[in-house]
Structure 1
């Protein structure tokens, strides 16, 4: 069934004017000018084909037509509020659905989520199977992606945009000459990779296994460098990409999401 177009803004103005019986006080409530209130009322009267207010010596009065519509209108506004609350309740405040690269989750994100959950036993995390999972299809709250910026999403950078060349310690010179490539690795020009990995996680595992050298985001390699499982082949350098925490604006504005963002970026 086709629904009648409702001039919701004008109806909101009508409700305020009817409560105050004053265009001026309605304007103060709505943070607009009295002239704007008058224009909205006139437009609503034209749309409905009825007169809603009359001016008398005592001030503004509702017509019988205006009186007849007022109670159903206010009931409708209450139902709108109930609808909004129901939709917001669907985004449970204690449940987070997150997509992140497996390797980044393992070396960086998991420990931080554990600290965030400490003292909050009711919090639940649902992890998507792939970092590029669609926000709407998976009902995601947040996603972590290795990218050069947020694009058309809201976002905050989680790690420095730096990369480093690494290899397993004690590897032979021949092994160290073998490059491990992955999409976005930015290997030196002319490199002939011995291994082509599908993602930086596979490249990291290959380097740890002593299969060659690779270029990794610094954040991904830091733990293995610190405990001696990898060694740096030179200093880290600036990179075009970093790990970003991303979400569409509606999710970004959620109170629970803001709390997690503030924790992860503190």
Structure 2
């Protein structure tokens, strides 16, 4: 299963804020929504989808299993809890959110539990998030590369993750870029502002278009209708080779998400 190239992220959005964001996004034409158990907003995302008038089978819905639910005994029950909150019988994609701290739960164990969830029809596809090359290889050894729909990782103009990207490409596994706008840092970047002016676009649209043209899926979030609509226009923006090369030159290995006790040893 291919992960949609463009979707709506819900990280850090809570309560009525996330309901409004998802409802507005669906109204504007978004058809992929990304949430997670740890976001604490699955029930609100489910409510927004239920009230949207958009048929469930038109929406690609992703959630992620939190680290304390990775054991064989907890993974599937926790996913069933997520489904109840999301008001759906299945999600389209379920990811392991972060690898198990200190390998407390072996990769083999949680990947097999995730595959079992797929076999039971609780999720249509499975994947991982925040996995380095070693962890990706162990996941591949457990269930096969063809079972892994994506690895969702931090990727933006200042962090290209080139080694991981090459490994994923060679394994035939897609990458999903989160934090594509680098917490808004790209919005004032001189090179992106210049490229945006050339295309009568915005720096946000340029960053998102760069990621999609690099072969990555993106899941930007926003609480403002104007920004949600603007981000969506990135789907039709085409950057030329010169633009892509200029953005390639911005890489400085700047990682913005590196939580102690959760993050693996990055490549």
Return the index of the structure with the highest Cα Rg.
Answer: 1
**More strand, by proportion:** 1
Q: TM-score, normalised by structure 1?
A: 0.22
